[in-house]
Amino acid sequence: MSRAFTQDGQEGEDAQVLPERPISIERNLVTARGLAMIEAELKQARSLFATAEAAGDRIAMGNASRDIRYWAARRASAELVTPSAADDGIRFGMAITLHYPDGRERIWRIVGEDEADAALGRISHVSPLARALFGKDVGDVVRVGPQEAEIVEIDRTPEVP
């Protein structure tokens, strides 16, 4: 194979560098827990960069740089929101208990995009379910996919990071 189009010592390296992480166009609303998570991720990325730099690992440096750019942008755009104690319907940061027709109950907390994890009951504020819940109150019914669920409890207590 001709080496005319490669740089010495970098054959195949570009295939290992991860692409840029896309940054959402939505407002970057975060809970206190979410802000702490973003700061921890940024600190971790900086640590990984320093380790890679000391080892001379250009691929790891590139990947860590990518993560630093992402988390620094997310930190810079973060808007810390705490749930309102006022009884004015469901808002960002609140935990909502839904009762489904089959008898199941599920608690969903509305959080920022970076901290969302449906398996842990944490949904992004831009998700269809969160948007359906906003402004609703106990006793209201919302559509959840193909079925409906009743709001049976709202927890307005902020999470501790």
Report pLDDT for 11. 45
Give Cα separations from 139 to 66, 96, 116, 154 (angstroms): 45, 12, 25, 10
Report pLDDT for 95. 96
Q: What is the pTM of this model?
A: 0.83
- Which domains does the chain show, CATH number per domain? 25-80 (no CATH), 95-155 (3.10.50.30)
What φ, ψ does residue 15 adopt, rounded to 5°? -70, -20
The amino acid occupying position 61 is M
Strands, E assignment, the chain: 29-30, 79-80, 95-99, 105-111, 122-124, 141-144, 147-155
Report pLDDT for 3. 41
CA-based radius of gyration for the chain: 21
> Tokens 């001379």, residue?
56
Residue 156 token pair: 């307005």
Report pLDDT for 71. 98
Strand partners, 143: 148
| Residues ≥6 apart with Cβ < 8 Å to 27 | 79
Report pLDDT for 98. 97
Digits of tens for pLDDT over the chain (161 positions)? 444 444 444 444 454 878 999 999 999 999 999 999 999 999 999 999 999 999 999 999 999 999 999 999 999 999 999 877 777 899 999 999 999 999 999 999 999 999 999 999 999 999 999 999 999 999 999 998 889 999 999 999 888 77
